Structure 1
Amino acid sequence: MKRILSVFVATLLSVFSVNAQKLENSTLWKIEGNGLEKPSYLFGTIHMTCDATIENDVKKALDETTQIVLELDMDDPTMQTKMMSGIYLPKGENIRDYITEEEYKTIDSLLTNHLGMPLKLMENMKPFFLSTSLYPKLLDCPMQSFELELMRIAKEQKEDIKGLETMEEQLEVFDNIPLKDQYADLIRMAEDNLEYDKTNFAKMLKVYKDENINEMLAMMDDENNTTVAEHQDVLLDQRNENWISKISEFAKEQPTLFGVGAGHLAGEKGVINLLRKAGFTVTAVLE
């Protein structure tokens, strides 16, 4: 369960971006140069999907590398405890401090219908947790995750699993976004009973299958989501920038496969461009 929850957090963090420079349609990129003895690879994932089958080119990259680094070390035994400590509103506060009675009833209906749990039991939880708890309901199939699949392979190959961020750092991202904006998105989800989000996510799955990382950026810049439109610097840009030195360190230690949400790859402030600016040669694996 702790790994599923972390996937939901990562999902929410990965569905934000800005449209920028055009790159080849590929979710797998080779990292070379800048002092690397052997190449590493950057794999753009989608955290929640119907089919997390690892393609042959990614399998080959896994064979050529000796460790896997995800956005978060999902094998950390303390992860669930850290997550649970960060999902609650400040002491003494609850959702009624931020929304109207009518909005409360709408959200209560959504959670009761989809999770079988009334809002009364979750009144003191932060809105991001309520939203991510609903994410599996956007799929019309049993949920699969590329992160969980990569972890399975790493264990089979007896390789280390590490993270670019800590759980505290991921939770801090949401603490830097006003609660009123997060509640606005939750209310919108409730008002149409997830219909918009289901349609949008189905389109995202199609775009991901086509490996069109540029189109993912274009569709993610969605004004219907207040959190997306107003806080992309916190959700995406700053995190990408923070990852570059860590990617460099990991890659120089040993050949590494990095798995991050595909929404982080393209764009002027995307990981690919930032790695190139840092002196690495980053090329699409087109097979």
Structure 2
Amino acid sequence: MKKTFLLVCSLLMGIAFGQQSEKSLLWKISGNGLQEPSYLFGTIHITCDASLSEKVKTALDKTQQLCLELDMDDPNMQAAMMSSMMMKNGVTMKSLSQPEDFKIVDAFLTASVGFSAEMINPVKPFMVTAMLYPKMLGCDIQSVEGELIKIAKAQSEEVIGLETVEEQLAVFDAIPYQEQMNELVKTAKDNMQRDKAELAEMMALYKTEDVEAMIAFTEKSPNVMTSKYSDIMLKNRNQNWISRMTAIAKNKPTFFGVGAAHLGGKDGVIALLRKAGYTVEAVN
């Protein structure tokens, strides 16, 4: 009886440890013809503390190039971003909102970022929301991607991207402009309180390294940009990335850094790489 009890306890501890070991932001990609392993790391695009763990630094040492969502050291990136910020077909924020709501947004932007909605009327509302992130964060913004780039450059390694600026910003043409504007109006009306709370929760969740909890968080978000349109924001892009990632990894061992919300779930990058025949293991 005692042996049986100990066996059950051992099995339960093994299951618990196995589940816990899957909580990681860093994953090793191997097998399926790869001569050397590559690594996959879940980033958070804005944070108060972008310091990298020792295991991440070790993985960077073991790889020969850095691949982010975008080639962030491309000198043409800013110009490409500026040309992709505007809504198509003459749509404006004013045309997407009731007059009283536009006035609220106009006053809110003037107070928050120092310029009025009138000045940036043709800009995609999501891009306007992105301008507010420093205010939502409540601290000096740090960039995980920026820290990764510093190390890559110190090691004289190339920095490349999984998608172009045009491809990434096309996502915000696929998501209805009206939905984007509706969310910006909500942000203005409650002075970012909902957004601040959600961002704080996401940052706390990121520290747990639970990628499955992160994808679940996005699915229940009150912001329809992440919940209702997760296929456009995450799933479709994940699928597009896999063939690119595998070709890159076969060429040379690579450190991939993408938003942590892209990693988990049945349509996440981890599951898709495994489906493609690769071994993907949590690094703890």
Name the residue aligned to 1:139. Answer: 137
Q: Does the alignment pair 1:107 with 2:102?
A: no
Q: Give 1:252's match in structure 2, choosing from 250, 254, 259.
A: 250
Task: Pick 1 or 2: higher relative contact order, CA cutoff 8 A, min separation 6.
Answer: 1
Q: Taking structure 2 as the reference length, what is the TM-score of the superposition?
A: 0.91
1:26 is paired with a residue of what secondary structure? coil
Deviation at 1:99, TM superposition (A): 0.3
- Once the two structures are superposed, residues 163-219 of structure 1 have per-residue CA deviations (whole angstroms, 9 ceiling, x without a partner) of 000011001111111111111111111110001110111111111011111211122
Q: Give 2:218's match in structure 1, choosing from 217, 220, 227.
A: 220
Decide whether aligned partners of structure 1 residues 223 and 198 sit closer, same or farther in structure 2, where only a CA change above 3 A counts: closer
Q: 1:23·1:213 contact (CA, 8 Å) conserved in 2?
A: no
Q: 1:25·1:213 contact (CA, 8 Å) conserved in 2?
A: yes
Name the residue aligned to 1:60. Answer: 58
Q: Give 1:203's match in structure 2, choosing from 201, 204, 213.
A: 201
- CA separation in 1, counterparts of 2:218 and 2:228? 12
Name the residue aligned to 2:157. Answer: 159
Q: 2:28·2:280 contact (CA, 8 Å) conserved in 1?
A: yes
- Once the two structures are superposed, residues 75-128 of structure 1 have per-residue CA deviations (whole angstroms, 9 ceiling, x without a partner) of 111111111111112354322111011111111122112101111211121111
Name the residue aligned to 1:263. Answer: 261
Q: 2:242·2:272 contact (CA, 8 Å) conserved in 1?
A: yes
- CA separation in 2, counterparts of 1:249 and 1:209? 31
2:119 is paired with a residue of what secondary structure? helix
- CA separation in 2, counterparts of 1:92 and 1:63? 48
Q: 1:67·1:160 contact (CA, 8 Å) conserved in 2?
A: yes
Deviation at 1:223, TM superposition (A): 4.8
Q: 1:204·1:216 contact (CA, 8 Å) conserved in 2?
A: yes
Q: 1:32·1:282 contact (CA, 8 Å) conserved in 2?
A: yes
Name the residue aligned to 1:3. Answer: none
- CA separation in 2, counterparts of 1:213 and 1:22? 11
Deviation at 1:56, TM superposition (A): 0.1
Q: 1:138·1:198 contact (CA, 8 Å) conserved in 2?
A: yes
Name the residue aligned to 1:80. Answer: 78
**What amino acid maps onto 1:45 in structure 2?**
T
- CA separation in 2, counterparts of 1:168 and 1:257? 23
**What amino acid maps onto 1:161 in structure 2?**
V
Q: Which runs of 4+ in 1 moved over 4 A?
A: none
2:226 is paired with a residue of what secondary structure? helix
Q: Taking structure 1 as the reference length, what is the TM-score of the superposition?
A: 0.90
1:233 is paired with a residue of what secondary structure? helix
- CA separation in 1, counterparts of 2:172 and 2:221? 18
Which of the two has higher C-alpha Rg? Answer: 2
- CA separation in 1, counterparts of 2:28 and 2:195? 33
**What amino acid maps onto 2:46 in structure 1?**
M
Deviation at 1:129, TM superposition (A): 1.2
Decide whether aligned partners of structure 1 residues 107 and 159 sit closer, same or farther in structure 2, where only a CA change above 3 A counts: same
Q: Give 2:167's match in structure 1, choosing from 169, 191, 200.
A: 169
- CA separation in 2, counterparts of 1:94 and 1:145? 31
- CA separation in 2, counterparts of 1:77 and 1:233? 30
Q: Structure 1: 5+ residue runs without aligned partners? A: 1-20
